[in-house]
Structure 1
Amino acid sequence: MTSLELQTHNSPPPLESAERQFYDGENPHDTAIVEQNLAPADGGVAAWRLLVVAFVFEALLWGFPLSFGVFQNYYSQQPQFANNPFISIVGTVASGISYLGAPLIIPVIKRYSKYQRHMIWFGWPLCILGLLAGSFARTLPTLIFTQGVMYGIGFLIFYYPIISFVNEFWIARRGMAYGILCASSGVSGIVMPFAVEALLAKYGYQTTLRIIAIGLVVLTGPLIPLLKGRLPPSERTAAGKTNWQALRSPVFWVYCSSNVVQGLGYFFPSLYLPSYATAIGLTATQGALVLALLSVSQVIGQSSFGYLSDKRVPLNLLILISTLVSGLATLALWGLAQSLTALVMFALVYGFFGAGYVAMWARMGSAVSEEPTAALATFSLFCFGKGVGNVAAGPLSAALIKKGVVVGSYGIMRYKSVIVFTGSCMLGSAVSVGAWWVKGKWPRNLL
């Protein structure tokens, strides 16, 4: 997910400084003793055990909201939810809270680091409770509150302490560790849409939500005791101030505007591809296949663009490639898609190039400021901007979706406005960066 990708490309701090920041101001002799008793960093049984457990949590609990497109397709065909244009809000709220809440939860974790395991034990059951409560929902507002708000808040509370533990164990090889975590979304993206679609077809949404809740308890509950940080709980946590000087940089505001515009359109394909597939006569299983391929291509795109940005390929060139190709693919491939082959082609192209944008957040932050706390603040704001688009996707889609379906027409008429809006956002994001590039206002190292 987002903040995960942000830290992936961040330069890892020296081992000593990464450890000592948790003991700032303590007796040097006591600190030395503590450091001697720490488990090895960047390897060893404890480090790999934590990474594997984090992989499982990421794949299952983040993979669920990423597969909401299958639920949305099902809900839209049920009498109590049919023709309701606000169904997509359920999924966007669940994932949007995780984006929007990142700048708020990270300072809390830093300030109260000794309570991180308590946060996990509070947030994880809240996710499960949200699914169970959602299984009794009969109205859309109830689904939004349970499957959306409750699940999203629970995920926010338990997920970021896990990421904090990963940071403690993986320092010099943190990029590799985060790359493995990113891959978990692709694994769940291959399996979960098909599993959810099969359960919905056989049991309906109420029983499906209960089965998923029980499955998450069985698969992840026994692993919670293994979620332990490398550093012992400290009564005194360094509370350094965040440097917000980056807000004065014109480069930051160009990147920020590009990020917000890209985020406004980015989420629509994952929300509507299964429904679009059904509308053109494909089966629910084929719709789930398209969503799974989109997820896989996203992981490949993120790792590829992140790798290229680390290799000092011009950042602005990569941004333009990501946004231009994804925008043109939306307008051409999705807008004209009338078959499974066309939808698969769109999912592969859009997933690779569209998702690659997020992997460059870290490089954007370092381009604005090399100061570590300023870069972190920039990352958080990029994450927040993406969340704005994520949450806005639901209400926007309600205004953009049309009622009629005309097979053979552009976007089969019903999705025409959604497709045009998505493509326009991608191209608009490119324009905001490209305009400054053409004017020659960029630092030479970004050209």
Structure 2
Amino acid sequence: MPSTSVGSELQTWDQPTAHFQEPISEHSPSQLGDDNNTATQGEDILIQQLAPADGGPGAWRLLAAAFVFEALLWGFPISFGVFQNYYSSLPQFAGNSNIALIGTIAQGMCYLGAPASAALTKRFPKFQRQQVWLGWPLCILGLIAGSFTTTLPGLIATQGVMYGLGFVTLTYPIISFIDEWWIARKGMAFGIISAASGASGIFMPFIIEALLQKYGYRTTLRAVAVGMAVLTGPLLPFLKGRLPPAERSAMGKTNWSFFKKPLFWIYCASTLLQGLGFFFPALYLPSYATAIGLSSTSGALVLAIMSLAQVIGQFSCGYLSDKKMSVSALCTACSVMSMIAAFVLWGLAKNLALLLVFGIVYGFFGYGFTTMRVGMGRAVSDDPSAAVATYAILVFLQGVGNILAGPISAGLLKRRIQVGTYGIARYQALVVFTGTCMSLSALVISLWYLRPRTIRKLLGGRA
């Protein structure tokens, strides 16, 4: 790596540790010279110790390992729809509306537990790898324990609570590692990680469906647990940070000054509004496909195509955010295109072709928006110590939509189906709600940037 790049990294990490330096006025000129020599020697040692960022074997090994963890361990709970359909067909669970709680809790803990896990990661930076080693077996054991239970409360406690707690525990140390290894290309790195669940969404639901139909849920949960352990266990040694322990300890204190930036709250409002409508297409596209006369395979195909578009969209948006493009403009574009996809493509879809087009457009732009969390954080704070905190807060806000998706949809879905009408009648209000949330998400950011520049400066925002 060129020496200029290393120098810029040292400057990046200098800011959080500045408060440990003694005041210059207390030293004599000779002492200052000694201090400067010591600082120079320390900087040379640090340069020799640090592995290259934004590339090199260590950075790519970490990113590859994190991708596999995200694809498998997060891909499983977001594929819960397959389990939900299967559990609903079992006599002991038939007609029980609480089945959905298993997936809701597993995913909800990952979203709503984000701030707590991130705070733990930042508070005890020396124990980040131990945090991974605590969360990883919890996920595996949650699935194994679930395979031995025969009651719904048991499945909620194991496949839901244990698994969700394990995943949220291990996630934020990994995010912190990525934040250390990837600096100038941070948006691209997080785009790749975000796309991992989309990559697994292309094949994981089909594998789980086949296992459930052939072997039942007990054997399936055990098989998934063994598969996860075998595929992710050997990668655990690659999950480690780049900074020396002393530097990581200095980064343990988060700079919360971004709370004073109005732009941060604009991004929070936009993320919350986008999250309220974000989850409905993935939840209801299979049943929508069945309602217009398509097979269950066609519904799964639409989800797979949407997952593929998600991979491309999240990588592309993350890459563009590194190219000095306006994060606000990217967020607005993603929300506007998602709005058009919902109002026009989903609402008018009466055949497989239009549903596939909707899956492509929504998968690219709807999921592309979620990659902007890193860019939003950089827009409101130059301090590296705030990166994980802003990311976790925005994840939490999107997770509110995940938790409320069930109650909201229960009030919006209608009983009757009329294929010739907009949204085939049953899903009409749901389609309109999704499109409205996307439009409001774009509007919040747009109105902020349409304000006169002088007012923005007065309120402390960025141009």
1:249 to 225, 242, 261: 261
Is residue 377 of structure 2 the alignment partner of residue 383 of structure 1?
Answer: no
Aligned pair count? 437
CA contact (8 A) 2:195 2:310 kept: no
CA gap 1:69/1:105 in 2 versus in 1, 3 angstroms: same
- Is the alpha carbon distance of 1:277 and 1:81 closer, same or farther for their aligned partners in structure 2, counting shifts above 3 Å? farther
- Aligned match for 1:15, one of 9, 17, 21: 9
Which residue of 95, 105, 116 maps to 1:104? 116
Select 1:327's aligned residue among 322, 329, 339: 339
Residues in 2 aligned to 1:408 and 1:224: alpha-carbon distance in whole angstroms: 53
Aligned partners of 1:92 and 1:391 also within 8 Å: yes
Is the deviation greater in 431-440 or in 32-41? Answer: 32-41
Describe the SS at the equivalent of 2:392.
Answer: helix
Which whole-Å CA distance do the structure 1 matches of 2:358 and 2:131 have between them? 40
Distance 1:411 1:200, change over 3 A: farther
C-alpha distance in 1, partners of 2:306/2:296?
15
Structure 2 residue matching 1:242: 3-state secondary structure: coil
Alignment of 1:265-414 (within 5 A): 265-373=277-385, 377-414=389-426
Please give the alpha-carbon distance, in whole angstroms, between the structure 1 residues aligned to 2:380 and 2:43: 35
Separation in 2, partners of 1:246, 1:367: 9
2-side partners of 1:225 and 1:437: how far apart?
45
- Within the alignment, does 1:224 sit opposite 2:218 as a pair? no
1:117 and 2:141 aligned? no
Deviates more, 1:131-140 or 1:112-121: 131-140
* Residue identity (%): 57
Deviation at 1:419, TM superposition (A): 2.3
Could you tell me how far apart the structure 1 residues matched to 2:7 and 2:294 are?
50
1:426 aligns with 2:420: no
Aligned match of 1:8: none
1:155 shift after superposition: 0.7
Verify the 8 A CA contact 1:264 1:393 in the aligned structure 2: yes
Contact 1:110 1:238 in 2 (8 A): no
Computing the radius of gyration from Cα coordinates, the structure with the larger value is 2
Match of 1:5 in 2: none
1: CA distance, partners of 2:192 / 2:268? 27
Question: Deviations for 1:326-383, whole angstroms, at most 9, x for unmatched residues?
Answer: 1232133223333322221111111112122223333333444445556654443222
Task: Report the counterpart of residue 60 of structure 1 in structure 2.
Answer: 72
Q: CA deviation at 1:79?
A: 4.2
- How far apart are residue 138 of structure 1 and its match? 4.3
| 8 Å Cα contact 1:101/1:384 also seen in 2 | yes
Q: Which has the higher contact order (CA 8 A, sep 6+)?
A: 1
Aligned-partner Cα distance in 2 for 1:138–1:406? 39
> How far has the Cα of 1:402 moved from its partner?
4.1
Where in structure 1 are there 5+ consecutive unaligned residues?
1-10
Q: How has the CA–CA distance of structure 1 residues 41 and 255 changed in structure 2, closer, same or farther, with 3 Å as cutoff?
A: closer
Task: Report the Cα offset of residue 295 of structure 1.
Answer: 1.4
Unaligned runs of 5+ in 2: 22-37
* Residues 237-261 of structure 1, C-alpha deviations (whole Å, 9 max, x = no match): 2265433333333333332212111
Check the 8 A contact 1:114/1:234 in 2, yes or no.
no
For 2:416 and 2:91, locate their aligned partners in 1 and report how far apart those are by CA, in whole Å: 17
For the 8 Å contact 2:188–2:315, the answer to whether it is kept is no
| Cα RMSD for the two superposed structures | 3.5
In structure 2, the residue matched to 1:201 is 213
Shift of 1:315: 4.4
Q: Distance in 1 between matches of 2:241 and 2:381?
A: 30
* Greater shift in the superposed pair: 265-274 or 142-151: 142-151
Amino acid at match of 2:269: S
Selected match of 1:163 from 175, 182, 187: 175
CA 1:208/1:148 → structure 2, altered by over 3 Å: closer, same or farther? same
Is the 8 Å Cα contact of residues 93 and 152 (structure 1) preserved in structure 2?
yes
Out of 276, 292, 299, the position equivalent to 1:264 is: 276
| Structure 1 contact 95–152 (Cα < 8 Å) conserved | yes
Distance 2:286 2:232 in 1: 28
**Higher percent of residues as helix:** 2
Q: Decide whether the 8 Å contact of 2:191 with 2:319 is kept in 1.
A: no
Residues 274 and 441, structure 2, Cα contact 8 Å, conserved in 1: yes
2:43, 2:189 → 1: CA distance? 26
In structure 2, what residue type is equivalent to 1:189?
Answer: G
Distance 1:43 1:304 in 2: 18
CA–CA separation in structure 2 for the residues paired with 1:402 and 1:206: 34
Deviation for aligned residue 1:166: 3.4
Using the TM superposition, give the Cα deviation of residue 71 of structure 1 relative to its aligned residue in structure 2, in angstroms.
2.7
For the structure 1 residues 84 and 403, does the alpha-carbon distance in structure 2 shift closer, same or farther, using more than 3 Å as the test?
Answer: farther
| 2:275–2:399 Cα contact (<8 Å) kept | yes
